A and B are shown apart, each in its own frame.
Chain A
Amino acid sequence: MYRLGIDLGSSFTKGVLVDENNRLADVFCVRSGYNFNNAAEKIIAHFTEKHEVAFPVYTCGYGREQIKVPFISNSELIALSKAVFEIYKRSCSIIDIGGQDTKFIQVNSQGQVEKFKMNRKCAAGTGSFLEEIAFRLDVTPAEFTKFAAEATGEVKINSFCTVFAISEIIGMIKNGASLPNIILGIYNSIILRSSELSLVEGYVVITGGLPAMHPTIVSLFKKKYPESDSPEHSQFLAAYGCVLLNTSK
């Protein structure tokens, strides 16, 4: 019998299937849209088509209590820490960049959360920031990565506000800055924004939907923090942690 973890986030709902040995058996992701229950049902339908799944399911994220099947909800930060500790088994600093939140979590050598911080009430530096800019520039995430690789230098994006950042970028284009250099600047502004959350110490683990979709971000983080890693399926780790949290008890 498999267990199901679902992270109902602001942009995407991520589901994981966990086997009896606590191994990640499968992952699946859909857009959250306006109805978290619909998103969760799609996840459940996807997994139950081929597997026998136990209920309750284990949830976290903004829509964690907005589903109709039996569930146990969890804090996504605690769940994420649990999953990261399960993988690395060491104290570390987690930087997680999701659709709407950027999170910093300090995990101690026992796997407990020592300290955490979330971005202020502003989407700059989150996935939404990048999505909005990508939409305005008419560039896909894959193209973002391609363009960033072509950068010959970096332009600095100064604005905190997503909308004003776009005006700033339009101004840069007008003044002849190249798109690859601008995109590298956008990536670096995200890294800079995340570094404001807290002093980052020790081993760094980079997680979340944004790093998963933008490998250049991970490379830039690794350059900044040489002792770092971004695990496979990093945007699914909070969902995975939900199951683990309820297994260890």
Chain B
Amino acid sequence: MSEKTTQDKSELVKLQSAGELRKTMDGYFSRLREAAETGSRKIAWCTSVGPAELLYSMGFEVFFPENHGAMLGAGKNADKYIPTAVAHGYSPDICSYLTSDIGAFLQNETPLQKSGFKSVPTPDILVYNTNQCREVEDWFSFYGRHFKVPVVGIHTPLCITDLGPEIIKTVAEQYHRIIPELEKVAGVKFDIDRFRETVGLSHDGCVLWKEVLQKAKNIPAPINFFDSAIHMGPIVVMRGTQYANDYYKILLAELQERIEQHISAVPSERFRLYWEGMPLWYRLSNLAKLFAKLDTCIVASTYCNSWVFDDLDPADPFESSALAYSKLFIVRSDTVKENVLDQLMQEFSVNGIIYHESKTCARNSNNRFGLQNRLLKRNGIPYLEINGDLNDPRCYSEEQSIIAIETFIDQLSGQIK
């Protein structure tokens, strides 16, 4: 229940590290822009959980179209671009990162123009891993055809239950197989020591990122999902570089300080929730405020935890990359997903879980095959399903979702008393 006179609790305390985050991200985009403008370095486009370490080790500047898609969504512009892609034959039911990104490209617009880019940086090669979905291959193929540059990829088996040596071997072999094409484009020979070093940096960055996320185990949590969805930028686009690692040391220190000073992400945390599925990029801030107003902190999420590749090992860079990128939540079977979710829900002491069923992202919508009911039966933690989409706001009914969220918190309130 809320009274008209209630003090506005939706005022969130911003993380001080946000300034450093901006500098770190600005640095990344500056390096990309310089490469695009001067040709000083080759540019590879990579999927968000693709072989970034391999690309950085071979001297590429790496651009991530999914990050670009999220920028379009967060900028509330995706619905301006999606119709253009649809008019070019891309269904409105497929990934709205893809349709908004291709639509923006066809309209020759990008949020990067605000940072001095003329357009998105032209790729010399596009590299994907289908571990997250098959759509990335079609997405990259569009640009491959347009720019007449090579598109190479790793095809990871889907719905993995037992991640055994056969899968590791087949994925590791594919890493080896794309190297000659990368060498040809980069104009340098592959250097195993450089790769080991990059894998080592990526491992360390992932461990730091994991520590950041795990700080939210503290009650009250010093960071919530909405912060993490923004602060995950460096681990997505600079994984395997010192830049990401330097940033997460700063963020970690601030979170530790918050814990010591009893500063919480949500001023009066009463309920702790788990977020399953993609963020709604165009409503991130509204949802952050809504949950804060309801004294609710989203303390953990599948999405942010998906960039924890702590199995990476410089001693065995190929096999450990294959392991780390095939262990990813999204590529696992529902049996494994159920176990992972249950464990995280226990570890983070959550009272409830929200499943965001994203209209255009089946692989990131894990309430479609009854998992939500099996998990409820297993751990008794209530759930709420929200229908929306990662980027396409036309698939989301805000008023209806607010009523559902408020009711869910009231429901928890009745059970927790």
Which A residues form the contact surface with B (CB < 8 A)? 56, 62, 65, 70-78, 100-101, 112-118, 120-121, 245-246
**Neighbouring B residues of A74 by C-beta, 8 Å:** 1
The answer on a CB contact under 8 Å between A115 and B3 is no
Is B253 interfacial (CB 8 A cutoff)?
A: no
Shortest Cβ distance from residue B276 to the other chain A in the assembled complex, whole angstroms:
16
The answer on a CB contact under 8 Å between B1 and A72 is yes
Is B2 interfacial (CB 8 A cutoff)?
A: yes
The 7 closest A-B pairs by CB, nearest first: A75-B407, A121-B397, A77-B407, A112-B414, A113-B411, A78-B410, A75-B410
The answer on a CB contact under 8 Å between A75 and B387 is no
The answer on a CB contact under 8 Å between A121 and B387 is yes
Cα–Cα, bound, A115→B400 (Å): 16
- Cross-chain pairs A/B with CB under 8 angstroms, 24 sampled: A65-B2, A70-B4, A71-B4, A72-B1, A73-B1, A74-B1, A75-B407, A76-B403, A77-B410, A78-B411, A100-B400, A101-B403, A112-B414, A112-B415, A114-B411, A116-B404, A116-B407, A117-B385, A118-B404, A120-B387, A121-B387, A121-B395, A245-B1, A246-B1
B399-412 interface mask toward A, CB cutoff 8 Å, 1 = contact, 0 = none? 11001101110110
The answer on a CB contact under 8 Å between A77 and B397 is no
The answer on a CB contact under 8 Å between A101 and B400 is yes
**Neighbouring A residues of B385 by C-beta, 8 Å:** 117
**Neighbouring B residues of A112 by C-beta, 8 Å:** 411, 414-415
By secondary structure, the A interface counts as mixed
Is B117 interfacial (CB 8 A cutoff)?
A: no
Shortest Cβ distance from residue B369 to the other chain A in the assembled complex, whole angstroms:
16
Cα–Cα, bound, A222→B3 (Å): 39
Shortest Cβ distance from residue A7 to the other chain B in the assembled complex, whole angstroms:
12
Given A75-B407, A118-B403, A118-B404, residue A113 in contact with residue B397 (CB < 8 A): no
Is B382 interfacial (CB 8 A cutoff)?
A: yes
8 more CB-based (< 8 A) A-B contacts, given A72-B1, A101-B403, A118-B403: A56-B3, A65-B2, A75-B403, A77-B403, A77-B407, A100-B400, A245-B1, A246-B1
Is B105 interfacial (CB 8 A cutoff)?
A: no
Shortest Cβ distance from residue A30 to the other chain B in the assembled complex, whole angstroms:
20
Which A residue's beta carbon lies closest to that of B382?
A115
Cα–Cα, bound, A72→B5 (Å): 9
Residues of B in contact, count (CB < 8 Å): 23
The answer on a CB contact under 8 Å between B2 and A78 is no
**Neighbouring B residues of A121 by C-beta, 8 Å:** 387-388, 395-397, 400
**Neighbouring B residues of A77 by C-beta, 8 Å:** 403, 407, 410
Cα–Cα, bound, A71→B409 (Å): 20
Cα–Cα, bound, A120→B5 (Å): 32
Which B residue's beta carbon lies closest to that of A119?
B400
Shortest Cβ distance from residue A1 to the other chain B in the assembled complex, whole angstroms:
19
Q: Which of B1, B404, B415 has the most CB of A within 10 A?
A: B1
**Neighbouring B residues of A118 by C-beta, 8 Å:** 400, 403-404
The answer on a CB contact under 8 Å between A62 and B4 is no
The answer on a CB contact under 8 Å between B406 and A75 is yes
Given A115-B382, A118-B404, residue A72 in contact with residue B410 (CB < 8 A): no
B338-362 interface mask toward A, CB cutoff 8 Å, 1 = contact, 0 = none? 0000000000000000000000000
**Neighbouring A residues of B396 by C-beta, 8 Å:** 121
Which B residue's beta carbon lies closest to that of A116?
B407
Cα–Cα, bound, A65→B403 (Å): 12
Shortest Cβ distance from residue B56 to the other chain A in the assembled complex, whole angstroms:
41
**Neighbouring B residues of A75 by C-beta, 8 Å:** 1, 403, 406-407, 410
Which A residue's beta carbon lies closest to that of B395?
A121
Cα–Cα, bound, A74→B408 (Å): 12
Cα–Cα, bound, A70→B2 (Å): 12
**Neighbouring B residues of A76 by C-beta, 8 Å:** 403, 407
